Amino acid sequence: MAKKLANHIHKYKKIELGTDKEYLVYKCMHPACSHYIPIALAEGKLCECNRCGEPMIITKVTLNGSNGGPMAKPHCNDCIERKKVKDEDVAAIAAFLSGNETKTN
Ligand SMILES: [Zn+2]
Ligand SMILES: [Zn+2]
């Protein structure tokens, strides 16, 4: 029984433990699982992507991808790329619009 409950890919969320000193861990969000791991040791571990649900490996990108800090809810490269494309689209549209403005002036 217990074996079955543990048989899943952990789905991590960033949690701050401790009061004096900042101590960040990734805690599994599965209801039956109390697993967590210090973020300093999380690199190279398998977890479930918080966006698409696919298995992913925690990398330096995961740990530094959120303004130089660990992602609150780790997501895979595919989901990072998807977001990046979106941001670039927004930037392209903004550049296009500002370009248009200068032309019409
Ligand atoms: Zn778990
Ligand atoms: Zn994903």
Q: What is the pLDDT of residues 68-81, one digit of tens each?
A: 899 999 999 999 88
Q: Which ligand is nearest to the CA of 36?
A: 1
CA of 65 to the centre of ligand 1 (A): 23
4 has a pLDDT exceeding 70:
no
The distance of Cα 85 from the centroid of its chain, to the nearest Å, equals 16
- CA distances 18 to 22, 71, 93, Å, are 6, 19, 44
In this structure, the strands spanning 23-28 and 36-38 are: antiparallel
Q: How far is the CA of 30 from the centre of ligand 1 (A)?
A: 5
Over residues 7-63, the pLDDT tens digits come to 899 999 999 987 777 789 999 999 999 999 999 999 999 999 999 999 999 999 999
Ligand 2 centroid – CA 77 distance (Å): 7
Q: Give the Å distance between the CA of 104 and the centre of ligand 1.
A: 57
- Confidence class of residue 1 from pLDDT cuts 50, 70 and 90? very low
pLDDT value, residue 103? 53
Distance 14 CA to ligand 2 centre (A): 17
Q: What is the pLDDT of residue 6?
A: 55
